[in-house]
Structure 1
Amino acid sequence: MTLLDGLTLYLRMAALLLPVVACASVGSFWAWKKKPFPGEFISVLAANFATPALVFHTLLSTPLSGQALLQAGAATVLGFVLAGAMAALALRLLKLPVLALLPAAVLPNAGNLGLPMAQLAFGAEGLAIAVAAFAITSMVQHTVAVWILSRSSPQRTCMPRGVVFAVAAAVALRWSGLSVPAPVLESARLVGSMTVPLMLLSLGYALVTVSHGGLRQGAWLGSIRLAAGTLSGLLVGLLMGLPPMAAGVMLIQLAMPVAVASYLYADRLTPHGETAAGGVLVSTLALLVLSPGLLWLAGAVKG
């Protein structure tokens, strides 16, 4: 890779991250002005309404076949299992709370970063595979991860079931071959489009109020996420014998930084929201620096 190629890649990555930074900056400005922030309202709205609509629309509009969706879903789950084992060991060695931080250390930002990066590296076909991984990630994020976090806190909460129902409905419709009326799909797309902005507003607000201790522990958390994700992404392609493109896409998806939704749930259900916010910030900035190497590695896996 020449210097010009590297500079061009960095500029393209900066363009991908600019909307993320712009949206989070609105939340940061709100915190800087010391305005009241409806954190619980936003987290409930994102988890119970916006994300299920996004997953429903994504699964019904993807051009991938059922077999390709199943393969991508299985690879994603295996990747989470491998990353979970590595992350749990690392958190325990660092004497950080395992249950409270495990979802943040395992689950990647597969949506607003993983999808455009997969498209950048592999085009429309790669994006379609990444969408399937994103759907599984969303379902795990809003079900299994919430259950794990609730076990780490005396504050019990009802698990949001919207994503489970959305996935079940979308799979049933695809299997039956029934068509969904265009107004229904458009409604799901519109409601789902709120997901990322809501999460980024909350993150921006949290980053202004995060303590220095949260940033220090967040740096460890972000490092675990990137390392465990990259290793699990490489292992998944080898263990499952994935086709070259699928292996490259899964590496990108699993190597993404800490998900913003992980911060939202950690802040709502545990006393470690600041650590999760620091993890999002540190791992996202690190991704910007390391992204050319990641894209090169994904291309090498693809062959």
Structure 2
Amino acid sequence: MLAVVQFYWSAVVLLLPLLACAGIGAYWAKRDYPFGGTFITMLVTTVTTPALVFHTFVTTQLDDRALLAIAGASLLALLACALACAGLLRLFGLPVRTLLPTAFVPNAGNLGLPVSQLAFGDAGLSAAVAFFAVNSFVTHTIAVRMLPGANTPGSWKSPVLLASVAAVTLRALDIPVPDWLVATSRMLGAVTVPLMLLSLGHALALIPANGMRAGAVVAALRLAVGLAAGYAVVWLLGLPDLLAGALALQMAMPCAVVSYMYARRYTDVGDIAAGAVLVSTVVFLLLAPALLWFTRQ
């Protein structure tokens, strides 16, 4: 019991940098200080995150087989989670088409990347980046197209997807990457996680809390079904411990802020999606130390 308490406390300390960055973003929003949200979003999605993905893929110590395994497992886990969430949303009498993206898409960027790196080191970050690339593709193509009236033809040309394809191609063909390009992508990628956390805190502080009751149901589905789907795929494919833990952790992330943004733009369930993001994020942060202990066993 003492060992569990000690690990829980050490995990809390481990999470403090993440909480501090997100807290600064929330404080900034509550004080109504100037915040270039549009600029930061564009910078992160089109420049720094693709740079982080590219640098991680071309420098990771994980071999191509491991990266392919985590990418395939990620797609399978997201599919399983989507199917289960669709059935449960229908069971609870909630609109499936408009809330399914919020329920099955995890926050693999703002929280997934830093938490995985904290839990599993650089190898964990590499696995998380592979998951993030798949998750980003699914989010901005398949998931958003579920929403009524959504039309995002350019999403298939996502910078994250293009960076992933470029890095994987270079690895597959064994083409050396110039040192200056590696250094540039490292410098740009290094600011991604802090900017994501600041943006997450800022966004959470401004999200309305009107749809808490239904949002709590969606939040519970995201966390519980996501974790279950992750471990089901891990068990089915027999992934190595590190990849298994990283995948399960990614699938247990809270609802993605981008899902709320899409829901607010294209549907009438924006308040429910907002409640889901708020509740799932708070619950995840409270349970994160225990979850880190569980996924590292």
Aligned residue number for residue 76 of structure 1: 74
Tell me which moved more, 253-262 or 122-131: 122-131
Aligned residue number for residue 282 of structure 1: 279
Q: Superposition RMSD on alpha carbons, in Å? A: 3.0
**1:227 paired residue among 219, 224, 227:** 224
Query: What residue identity is the alignment partner of 1:11?
Result: W
Q: Equivalent residues in 2 for 1:189-208 (5 A)?
A: 189-208=186-205
Alignment partners' CA distance in 2, 1:47 and 1:269: 20
Q: Secondary structure at the match of 1:177?
A: coil
Alpha carbons of structure 1 residues 95 and 188: separation in structure 2 relative to 1, 3 Å = farther
Aligned residue number for residue 176 of structure 1: 173
Alpha carbons of structure 1 residues 35 and 215: separation in structure 2 relative to 1, 3 Å = farther
Q: Secondary structure at the match of 1:212?
A: coil
Q: Is 1:262 equivalent to 2:259 in the alignment?
A: yes
Tell me which moved more, 160-169 or 170-179: 160-169
Aligned residue number for residue 20 of structure 1: 18
Q: Secondary structure at the match of 1:21?
A: helix
TM, length-normalised to structure 1: 0.81
Q: Deviations over 1:226-247 (max 9, x none)?
A: 1111110121022223334433
Alpha carbons of structure 1 residues 161 and 112: separation in structure 2 relative to 1, 3 Å = closer
In 2, are the aligned partners of 1:203 and 1:277 still within 8 Å (CA)?
A: no
Query: What residue identity is the alignment partner of 1:289?
Result: L
Tell me which moved more, 61-70 or 277-286: 277-286
In 2, are the aligned partners of 1:143 and 1:161 still within 8 Å (CA)?
A: no
* Offset, 1:86: 1.2
Aligned residue number for residue 58 of structure 1: 56
Alpha carbons of structure 1 residues 119 and 194: separation in structure 2 relative to 1, 3 Å = closer
* Offset, 1:16: 3.6
Tell me which moved more, 223-232 or 154-163: 154-163
Counting aligned pairs with the same residue, the percent is 46
Query: What residue identity is the alignment partner of 1:171?
Result: V
Q: Which runs of 5+ in 1 are unaligned?
A: none
In 1, are the aligned partners of 2:116 and 2:125 still within 8 Å (CA)?
A: yes
Alpha carbons of structure 1 residues 223 and 15: separation in structure 2 relative to 1, 3 Å = same
Q: Deviations over 1:4-62 (max 9, x none)?
A: x2332232332343233322333323332345655444333332223222211221121
Alignment partners' CA distance in 2, 1:193 and 1:274: 33
Aligned residues: 296
Alpha carbons of structure 1 residues 9 and 162: separation in structure 2 relative to 1, 3 Å = same
**1:94 paired residue among 92, 95, 101:** 92
Q: Equivalent residues in 2 for 1:134-173 (5 A)?
A: 134-148=132-146, 151-153=147-149, 158-159=154-155, 161-173=158-170
Alignment partners' CA distance in 1, 2:121 and 2:28: 37
**1:42 paired residue among 30, 40, 43:** 40
* Offset, 1:270: 4.7
In 2, are the aligned partners of 1:62 and 1:131 still within 8 Å (CA)?
A: no
Query: What residue identity is the alignment partner of 1:138?
Result: S
Alignment partners' CA distance in 1, 2:273 and 2:295: 27
Alpha carbons of structure 1 residues 172 and 87: separation in structure 2 relative to 1, 3 Å = same
